[in-house]
Structure 1
Amino acid sequence: MQLHNLKDETQQVSFVEAVKTGLGRNQGVFFPKSLTPIQDIDKLLDLDFVSRSSKILSHLIGDELPADTVAQMVQNAFNFDVKLVEVEKDIYCLELFHGPTLAFKDFGGRFMAECLAQFNQGEKVTILTATSGDTGAAVAHAFYNKPNIDVVILYPKGKISLAQQKLFTTLGNNIHCYAVDGSFDDCQSMVKQAFLDDEVKQKLGLNSANSINISRLVAQVCYYFEAIAQLPKEQRSKAHISVPSGNFGNVCAAMIGAVLGMPVAKLSATTNQNDTVPRFLQNKEWAPNDTLESLSNAMDVSKPNNWPRVQF
């Protein structure tokens, strides 16, 4: 899987390098230069979730990892249910809260942990991540007590729920948590700033488990295929997937799925009052405002990291 830095075309890396590097030069995110559709989608959709996810991820990663290695990583990471529930006629909800921390980010966090365990070969790693609520818990539990890995989590003080906070601040051991007097965007800026300091990066073996990291993003592609697979066959090509969007990683994963050949008629991304992207689409000016608080704190993001990937 060849990826390039969306802010520096000269930096081209493999999947393994991208996972281990996290963020590219000039704070650029990595993304595939091209995506090849998967052949025989109907046959793929007939598989069970773990088998299908293994094939999707092997297809994306390519020959960097043996197929049986990827299959074992997926089996270790995706060991909980994914349910498509009919809310009312022709309206479904994809339940992604059956993982250990009750959030869709369990998929990406756990697959990233499997990747780093496979790639690191005993090197000391520090995972530095910002959270608007659910990433922190998913990453903390995915990497809890993993050898040679420390996790540092920055979260906006007083702006996440107490339940979310307790899910990661009560673990201890290799999980270190810091409340930041500011917004999620402030936390995210601190993470990006740390990655600009080569001395800090080298000394700490710095990596990020935000959706900056490509391993988290590709893992999320898998559950969109599962949603389509659970629909009656005659409905699949008519599906309209609507994704609540804060940092825009989740809808980007759905877009990757569509490019790979997943049958879907329409994708929608919805934001709350932190509307940088809708305003950009209207007037072509990237003008983030101060982050506004809402009841959906995980969506309170005014500078979404994944927008360059969506735009590309």
Structure 2
Amino acid sequence: MSEPLHYRSTRSGQHAASIDQVIAAGLAPDGGLYVPEALPRLDAAAFDPRGSLADTATALLTPFFKGTALAAELPAICREALDFEVPLRPLAHHADGSVLELFHGPSAAFKDVGARFLAACFRRIRPADAPPVTILVATSGDTGAAVAAAFHRQPGVRVVILYPDGRVSPRQAHQLGCFGDNVQALRVAGSFDDCQRMVKSALGDAALQARRPLSSANSISLGRLLPQMSYYAHAALGWWRRHRTPLNFIVPTGNLGNALACVWVREMGLPVGDIRLACNANATLSDYFDGDPYTPRPAIPTLANAMDVGAPSNFERLRWTFPHDHELRLQLQASSVDDDTIRDTIVRHASEHGELFCPHTATAVHVLDTMGATGLPWAVVATAHPAKFDSVVEPLIGRRVEVPAALQAMLQRPANAEPLAAENDALKRWLLHPMA
């Protein structure tokens, strides 16, 4: 068995762990995020030009899993998790633009990729006689449904989803509460940042962990972030083979997990060009990349609610990747897009080009629109199906948005979520109640 890659915390550089341990734990013991000791370097020639998304993921992730118990299972894990398409199709309105559609999985959002991969790993690394584990998920809209779908009825696993009450779309809220069985949704009287803080506090509580083993399925979990690199690699490699030029990306982002996945693919040596971040009115990142000090702040509600994040967790990993501010600001650009502009973008593209976008994707489309003709190829990352945001999109375009079959099946189930105060101790008390 070859020497495995080790992982350490962003905060102390200690707590060396294998990928199996990292996936099981979610968060490092010191509250930091796990990162590899170094990012592997790969060459485009190492990938099968006829390979599927699962084949690309296997080749991409093999260095991260080598020498571990999961290494031999990696091809099967990728086939299980990545069994849907992530097409790159031309945009009707932009000669140099394409859209990378990541919403063709079970919950109609890009989070399906990481959640399904993580669930497939858990099925293999958890011994049959291990005590039940509770997976905590803070969601601003899409993560929770993807994790719930991936882990639904999985033996030995309970999923607890925290979401900000009234700050997700009605269909997102229904998705979060429609599973039952081993999945419980909690509607928190606060913001996504409150939910994220509560989850991190619980994961870092050793006494609580001793009584109720916990793990995470947010993008703070490296087991969710690593597979998200696969669709960037797959799209960029396909473009490279056809055009012999790097593909540039515009990524809608809130908590920075999806964007960081793109950055890491480029750092590994694959043909990704410029990366631009599209944010909503929560301007923590856009202000930082414009030169202000990095200043987390309370999140404000927007139409692009899944990006309503004022303190993005993965900024720690971004700073690990580029430790100095001047270096980091050379790597990325970020723009903030307000709700009025999101509305205008959705309406204009639907009426003029017949293109439908969710509010999050619309932020990235707007960034592309403002760039004009660059002569460079740009891929807008479409993170969710517009049908998940019917209460926003349909009144703007004046017609019904067709609902994907998997989403329709979820909407036909009854849904329920329990209320919870936005307090760390409230979650800990809830977790210590006897399990149903």
* TM-score normalised by length of structure 2: 0.69
1:107 aligned partner: 113
CA distance in 2, matches of 1:80, 1:191: 30
2:250 aligned partner: 242
Q: 1:44 to 1:262 in 2, by over 3 A?
A: farther
Deviation at 1:35, TM superposition (A): 1.3
Could you say what secondary structure the match of 2:56 adopts? helix
1:87 aligned partner: 91
CA distance in 2, matches of 1:66, 1:121: 13
2:52 aligned partner: 48
Asked if 1:23 is matched to 2:27, the reply is yes
Deviation at 1:286, TM superposition (A): 2.9
CA distance in 1, matches of 2:171, 2:266: 34
Equivalent AA in structure 1 for residue 273 of structure 2: A
Alignment of 1:27-176 (within 5 A): 27-41=31-45, 43-65=47-69, 67-88=71-92, 89-122=95-128, 123=130, 124-176=132-184
Identity of aligned residues (%): 34
CA distance in 1, matches of 2:194, 2:180: 24
Alignment of 1:218-233 (within 5 A): 218-231=226-239, 233=241
Deviation at 1:66, TM superposition (A): 5.7
2:219 aligned partner: 211
Deviation at 1:46, TM superposition (A): 4.0
- Larger mean CA deviation between 60-69 and 2-11 belongs to 60-69
Unaligned regions of 5+ residues in structure 2, if any?
A: 321-436
CA distance in 2, matches of 1:43, 1:161: 39
CA distance in 2, matches of 1:149, 1:107: 19
CA distance in 1, matches of 2:227, 2:289: 27
Q: 1:291 to 1:51 in 2, by over 3 A?
A: same
CA distance in 2, matches of 1:281, 1:248: 13
Coordinate RMSD, CA, aligned: 1.6
Equivalent AA in structure 2 for residue 14 of structure 1: S
CA distance in 2, matches of 1:304, 1:44: 35
Could you say what secondary structure the match of 1:112 adopts? helix
Deviation at 1:39, TM superposition (A): 3.4
Could you say what secondary structure the match of 2:136 adopts? strand
Deviations 1:170-211 (A, max 9, x none): 110100111001100000010011122112112221001000
Q: 1:277 to 1:21 in 2, by over 3 A?
A: same
Deviation at 1:42, TM superposition (A): 6.3
2:300 aligned partner: 292
Q: 1:28 to 1:183 in 2, by over 3 A?
A: same
Kept in 2, the 8 Å contact 1:228–1:236? The answer is no
Could you say what secondary structure the match of 1:75 adopts? helix
Could you say what secondary structure the match of 1:152 adopts? strand
Kept in 1, the 8 Å contact 2:136–2:161? The answer is yes
Could you say what secondary structure the match of 2:186 adopts? strand
Equivalent AA in structure 1 for residue 309 of structure 2: V
Kept in 2, the 8 Å contact 1:8–1:25? The answer is no
Equivalent AA in structure 2 for residue 254 of structure 1: C
Q: 1:180 to 1:126 in 2, by over 3 A?
A: same
Deviation at 1:90, TM superposition (A): 2.0
Aligned residues, how many?
312
Unaligned regions of 5+ residues in structure 1, if any?
A: none
Deviation at 1:99, TM superposition (A): 0.2
Q: Runs of 4 or more off by more than 4 Å in structure 1?
A: none
CA distance in 1, matches of 2:61, 2:124: 15
Kept in 2, the 8 Å contact 1:84–1:93? The answer is yes
Deviations 1:112-154 (A, max 9, x none): 0011111111321100110000000000000000001000000
2:12 aligned partner: 8
Deviation at 1:231, TM superposition (A): 2.5
* TM-score normalised by length of structure 1: 0.95
Equivalent AA in structure 2 for residue 199 of structure 1: A
Deviations 1:67-99 (A, max 9, x none): 541101111111111111101422000000000
CA distance in 2, matches of 1:109, 1:135: 8
- Larger mean CA deviation between 103-112 and 226-235 belongs to 226-235
